[in-house]
Amino acid sequence: MLVLKEYWYKGYPRQRFHFYNDAGEWLQMDKAGHVFTAYFFSKYSRELWRWSGLPRKQQIWLGGLSGFAYQSVIEVLDGSSANWGFSWSDVAANTFGSAAMISQELLWNEQRIQFKFSWSPVRYPDPVLQRRANDIYGVNTLERILKDYNGQTYWASVNLSKFFPDIKLPRWLNISFGYGADGLYDAYENVWDMPEGHSNNYSHIRRVRQFYLSPDIDLTRIPTRRKGLRVLFQALNMIKIPAPALELSGGRIRAHAIQF
């Protein structure tokens, strides 16, 4: 919460609590972020409850509800910010992320489909776009990781051996389906007003959805007896391993030697 206060809400005006429908903004990249974050906090909160020794079902439900509660606090902060508002579509995305953890644990007693995140720095050679990116996405690396939708990719990483047990595959081998976007400089279209009083129209830049297919590694399925390594693998497993990928965007398919 301190990180969000410093890098997300700092400098933005506050106002009375209000609602806002942002379901169509940013090609739903923000919604993908809500799903991932709710899943992430639900999963690792469950691990803490497991460590505490609670019974299995209590671990699962408390973990999932803890993740959802954390995200709900963010919605309250949004509702008191002049730049945002309490969003029911955000709540729906939060619910989906937490429910993904809970349902898999209740159904399979494990996470066969894990949500992951990756980010690559984006260059903005046009000085106008560079200023715009600085204004809405921040100027340092942590701000860009949190905010820059043009550099983010969210993944659903599926463990193959669990869904195809008859095929002898490594237990750690996953296939990941990714979603990203490019060309985003405002919520709905690439037109924005400047403090100086004029408007910038960059509507000629296409706003495109990016879909990826890539192999991945489930670090938690790498056998080790070292508790420290198991904890490290759990923590790092939220990040998509860089790997070759196919991308579908703008009606074209492209191959990447390495996609992160």
- Please give the pLDDT value at position 74: 84
User: Helix or strand or coil: residue 106?
Assistant: helix
- Please give the pLDDT value at position 83: 78
Quick check: 235 pLDDT over 90?
A: no
Quick check: 8 pLDDT over 80?
A: no
Cβ within 8 Å of residue 69, ≥6 positions away = none
- Please give the pLDDT value at position 182: 96
In this prediction, residue 150 has a pLDDT band, given cuts at 50, 70 and 90, of very high
- Please give the pLDDT value at position 239: 95
Question: pTM for the complete prediction?
Answer: 0.92
Averaged pLDDT, 110-117: 96
- Please give the pLDDT value at position 186: 95
Quick check: 11 pLDDT over 80?
A: no
Retrieve residue 64's tokens.
Answer: 């999932």
How do residues 47-86 score in pLDDT, each as one tens digit?
899 889 999 999 999 999 999 998 888 888 888 888 788 9
How confident is the prediction for the chain on average, in pLDDT?
92
Contact 49, 229 (CB under 8 A): no
Bigger pLDDT: 83 or 144? Answer: 144
How do residues 165-200 score in pLDDT, each as one tens digit?
988 899 999 999 999 999 999 999 999 998 888 899
CA distance 246 to 257: 9
How do residues 201-217 score in pLDDT, each as one tens digit?
999 999 999 999 999 99
- Please give the pLDDT value at position 28: 97
In this prediction, residue 110 has a pLDDT band, given cuts at 50, 70 and 90, of very high
How do residues 130-142 score in pLDDT, each as one tens digit?
999 999 999 999 9
How do residues 238-251 score in pLDDT, each as one tens digit?
999 999 999 999 89
Q: Which of 146, 55, 53, 68 is nearest to 101 (CA)?
A: 68
27-53 per-residue burial string, b: 16 or more CB within 10 A, e: under 16:
bbbbbbbbbbbbbbbbbbbbeebeeee
Retrieve residue 30's tokens.
Answer: 């923000």
